[in-house]
Structure 1
Amino acid sequence: MNDKKQLAVKRFFGLDFLRALSISLLLFSHSSWIYNSTGILGKLQDASGFLGVELFIVLSGFLIGGILYKQFLHENYSLKDAGLFVSRRLMRVLPSYYLVILIITIIYLLFGFSVSEVWKYPLLIQNFSSPLPAFFPESWSLPVKEMGYILAVILLLAISKSFTKASKQVLFLTVVVGLIAFTLLLKLYYDIYSTNLSLTKWSFDIRAVVIYRIDSVLIGVLLGYFYQNYNEIMISKRKLFFAVGILIFILLFLCIMVFKLRLTNASWFWNILCLPLLSIAICMFVPFLLSWETPSKSIGNSITFICNIAYSIYLVHYSIVLFLMKYFIDTTDFGLWQLNIFAIFYVSITVALSYLFYTYFEKPINQFRAKNLKLNDK
């Protein structure tokens, strides 16, 4: 598929809303550093950050998965096509990511913090099989997504050359489901041999480690596959899918809040089932969101604006903006109204800086990418 056709594809308000919601939840979550939130508010902020990142991962998998699947169906799918897909994807995320790594590295050096493990970040291996270092902690989800796509592309290329007579649809499904199953086996291995009883450690050891999380992005890719092949059924049954998603969320809530499943008494739930079930629940909402019309032009424009700068917000909001604000402004003795003003400035600076970052760096690179890196459409 060439880029002109990709750029002309209709934007879905529901998916844009989901992306805007995910980045908003992330900002709300990290505001806990401002308020030092405890109690119900603190738990809500923790949950919002948790959900926001999962929304981001699954949605990315759905959108990129559809592109990958359509490209893989081409009869002349080759190493060049696979390489071009990976190049396009990395060109989308790496330039801005590298610039932010450079900025944060300079900040750390100026303030005397360690940068001994920074070399891992450009290679996207900072959390491949072990917990993320303290440097740029919010970046953990980027390797999860990109490594998921890269592994899928490598296996798709290998299996297409090995089974030239087999159905491309079957091969694609085999690779994606196989990778999901392999990730679940790794989680099972972790559950058997780990003695982790801390939710904080679980978040570092499982939730934010690539080899245990690529199933989430691939569940999104799997949804992209089904949408490409069964979109009429998915849209016609969208309310049923939505209800299933709600039921899965209720089930997760009951397991955690009512049945009190904890790492101490049900490690299997947290280590193996919790995150994949959450990813599946999010997928169940997508068909409904695909049919969601824009309520008004002003709302649509606002959501589109947030979506456009969402990646820039993701990169700069925490380890640059909030870190520097907290470093130079002591909020220890601030009252509630002062903290609220601080939070308003935090969000305003983040949005303004992200807009500049997007307009003068990210957008020009995306335009270059669209013009010069075109996927095969024949």
Structure 2
Amino acid sequence: MISFLKIDIGTNRIFGLDILRCTAILFVVFGHGNLFFSGSTARYLDYFVLDGVSIFFVLSGYLIGGILIKELENKPFSKELLVNFWKRRWYRTLPNYFLVLSLLIILSYSFTKDFQVLDSLEYYIFSQNLFYPHPNWFPEAWSLSIEEWFYLIVPILLLLIDKLFKLSTKRAILVTAVLIILFATFFRYAKSLQIILENSRDLDINFRKQVFTRIDSIMYGVLAAYIAYYYNNTWKKNKKTLFAIGLILLLSTKFFIKADLNSLYACVFSFSLNSIGTLFLLPFLSEIKTGKGKINKVVTYFSLISYSMYLINLTLVKNWIILHLQIDFLNSYVTLVTKYILYWFFTVVLSILLYKYFEIPTTKLRERDK
């Protein structure tokens, strides 16, 4: 059983970024696990959970931005480079997503009364939260939609700026970053003038989980890659101070946002500060190249399977597997603890299997398709 679940860990990893990715997915799974508990208990546990998805956004932008900048500095911007970029991203993200999505459609069609397959087809083209609040079905997909639209829009915008204004790669990246960040920030501001939020769920579905209100979060990661590449000495110089400031910003956006849901801070700037806070963590963490001992392996394991964990933990594991096991002991506390343990067990084990036997093979296909 252990060998069946064993994952080979490569040597070219940056342990500090694995720490950030591991922390982010644990925040997500802990946060969804809080749904097992009563309202008061869940609210208490929520104090220990930061917004893991926002961390993922910035980290993703940082990694993809770094790859894109290096490619553009070594090759002229062309349609071929653009298509190759998309193919490599889609080999990495789409197979897992489409597999889980298709499985959920089959389960819902087979066992859920009045489920309409046509309503779920928009998930295949990531349009479910493009202009409207994300549907309740397969709620994890909201962030995948934002990422995929980012991968599609930003390189095209870069190409247009390159062709129209003949800017250097350095300036084109900076102009694109500033445009996306300003657009999303002003879009949130304009939207905040039109909507009255009644509760935190309204904030969640109208601002946190829509494409054009959050696309700047990933761009902050690209901006981090820009600074790291072109101003590396500045990037490293105050890394500990920036790390401390980053933690303060992340904690502040966690605890101050509930003060007034309709404030500019909550609707507009909390998302910016959350992204900037994560950006400030990167100079320090990106310099931690290796880890030691069992903790290193555990952190790296969670980092490797984080995408699979994200896709299956809530809808597939919690809402399908745990619910349909019909666990019900005489003692309600034992029932709760059993469900919670099984939630983590199935999430981790199934994620390892999905990563090892599907995600790795499909990702390797991109190397054959160069």
In the superposition, the TM-score normalised over structure 2's length comes to 0.90
Displacement, 1:293?
5.2
Please tell me whether residue 233 in structure 1 is matched to residue 234 in structure 2.
Answer: yes
CA contact (8 A) 1:30 1:45 kept: no
Other-structure match for 1:292: 288
Other-structure match for 1:163: 165
Please tell me whether residue 304 in structure 1 is matched to residue 305 in structure 2.
Answer: no
Equivalent AA in structure 2 for residue 29 of structure 1: G
Other-structure match for 2:4: none
Equivalent AA in structure 2 for residue 368 of structure 1: L
When residues 204 and 22 of structure 1 are mapped into structure 2, their CA distance, relative to the original with a 3 A threshold, is: same
CA contact (8 A) 2:91 2:365 kept: no
> Helix, strand or coil: the match of 2:231?
helix
Please tell me whether residue 365 in structure 1 is matched to residue 366 in structure 2.
Answer: no
Equivalent AA in structure 2 for residue 262 of structure 1: D
Distance 1:243 1:320 in 2: 37
Q: Percent identity?
A: 31
> Helix, strand or coil: the match of 2:305?
helix
CA contact (8 A) 2:100 2:312 kept: yes
Other-structure match for 2:6: none
Q: CA RMSD in A?
A: 2.2
Q: Which runs of 5+ in 1 are unaligned?
A: 1-6, 374-378
Please tell me whether residue 84 in structure 1 is matched to residue 80 in structure 2.
Answer: no
Please tell me whether residue 211 in structure 1 is matched to residue 212 in structure 2.
Answer: yes
When residues 110 and 251 of structure 1 are mapped into structure 2, their CA distance, relative to the original with a 3 A threshold, is: closer
Other-structure match for 1:376: none
Distance 2:307 2:45 in 1: 23
Displacement, 1:298?
2.1
Aligned length: 359
Other-structure match for 2:127: 125
**What are the within-5 Å matches in structure 2 for residues 131-142 of structure 1?**
131-142=133-144
Displacement, 1:232?
2.7
Other-structure match for 2:5: none
When residues 112 and 119 of structure 1 are mapped into structure 2, their CA distance, relative to the original with a 3 A threshold, is: same
Moved over 6 A (4+): none
**What are the within-5 Å matches in structure 2 for residues 161-200 of structure 1?**
161-164=163-166, 166-200=167-201
User: What CA deviation, in whole Å up to 9, does each residue of 1:92-112 have, x standing for no partner?
Assistant: 111111111110001111122
Displacement, 1:201?
0.9
Distance 2:141 2:290 in 1: 31
Please tell me whether residue 335 in structure 1 is matched to residue 339 in structure 2.
Answer: no
> Helix, strand or coil: the match of 1:31?
helix
**What are the within-5 Å matches in structure 2 for residues 27-66 of structure 1?**
27-35=29-37, 37-39=38-40, 41-45=42-46, 48=49, 51-66=51-66
Displacement, 1:295?
4.4
Match of 1:150 among 152, 159, 173: 152
CA contact (8 A) 1:29 1:46 kept: no
CA contact (8 A) 1:66 1:225 kept: yes
CA contact (8 A) 1:248 1:281 kept: yes
CA contact (8 A) 2:69 2:169 kept: no
Displacement, 1:75?
4.7
Distance 1:207 1:362 in 2: 28
Q: Which runs of 5+ in 2 are unaligned?
A: 1-8
Other-structure match for 2:311: 315
> Helix, strand or coil: the match of 2:22?
helix
Displacement, 1:81?
0.5
User: What CA deviation, in whole Å up to 9, does each residue of 1:14-36 have, x standing for no partner?
Assistant: 1101111111111111112322x
Equivalent AA in structure 1 for residue 360 of structure 2: K
Please tell me whether residue 344 in structure 1 is matched to residue 341 in structure 2.
Answer: yes
Equivalent AA in structure 2 for residue 124 of structure 1: F
Displacement, 1:91?
1.5
Displacement, 1:333?
6.4
Displacement, 1:203?
0.2
Distance 2:304 2:283 in 1: 22
